[in-house]
């Protein structure tokens, strides 16, 4: 069983909010194709590389996948707000890989943005070190290596991102159903990218 109860409701604690104000956070606006929402990625000092990885999988990897892999998510993506804030953390205290934040539990940043734009702004969080260490099947049965680890991390980031976005779009959908979709997506994307010219070809495509 994966300790990645993505669907849990999460509200940032007082200590985290205090540290965020003390250390400061940076933001990266990710503007994808017209059928995808804008992502405002908010990350702490030292998180820029991860934010760039997330930008690349959203802008390049997701649109490049075979339509049969992405089709189950198309309706969900259309139901999302036009702007979604993605809070990046190294880890969550609860050890979960991510959370969706229902209305009323968002950060000050998201509440301020919603007021500025005059419309709903969604919010999720992702814990990148936990995602990096996540070892779903069939990864555990494959040989590890630096290139493969990078491939896994990118696919895992995209998988957890879509998982939390699905919870955001369908707040009443049960965790088991969302997790089943995520597991299938991870396996299908891994198989598709491994059929390409190895992890090196994936890395080149993602960096364009």
pLDDT 10s digits, 132-187: 998 876 555 555 566 788 888 999 999 999 999 999 999 999 999 999 999 999 99
So what's the pLDDT on residue 198?
Answer: 54
Partner residues linked to 40 by β-bridges: 29, 85
| Any domain includes 4 | no
| Any domain includes 5 | no
| Any domain includes 9 | no
Closest-CA residue to 50 (of 125, 136, 143): 125
Range of the domain at 37: 14-206
pLDDT 10s digits, 144-153: 566 788 888 9
| Any domain includes 118 | yes
Q: What is the pTM of this model?
A: 0.82
Task: Give φ, ψ of 127 to 5 degrees.
Answer: -105, 100
Specify the 3-state DSSP secondary structure of 202.
Answer: helix
């Amino acid at each position: 069983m994966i300790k990645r109860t993505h669907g849990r409701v999460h509200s940032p604690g007082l200590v985290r909010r205090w540290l965020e104000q003390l250390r400061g956070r940076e933001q990266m606006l990710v503007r994808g194709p017209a059928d995808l929402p804008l992502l405002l990625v908010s990350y702490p000092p030292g998180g820029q590389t991860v934010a760039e990885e997330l930008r690349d999988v959203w802008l390049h990897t997701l649109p490049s996948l075979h339509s049969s892999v992405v089709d189950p998510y198309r309706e969900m993506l259309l139901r999302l707000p036009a702007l979604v804030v993605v809070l990046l953390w190294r880890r969550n205290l609860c050890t979960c890989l991510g959370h969706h934040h229902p209305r009323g539990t968002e950060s000050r940043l998201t509440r301020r943005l919603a007021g500025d734009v005059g419309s709903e702004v969604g919010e999720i969080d992702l814990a990148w070190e936990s995602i990096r260490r996540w070892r779903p099947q069939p990864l555990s049965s494959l040989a590890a290596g630096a290139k493969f680890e990078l491939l896994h991390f990118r696919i895992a980031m995209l998988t957890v991102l879509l998982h939390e976005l699905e919870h955001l779009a369908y707040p009443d959908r049960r965790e088991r159903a969302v997790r089943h979709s995520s597991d299938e997506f991870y396996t299908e994307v891994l198989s598709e990218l491994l059929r390409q010219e190895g992890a090196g070809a994936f890395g080149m495509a993602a960096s364009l």
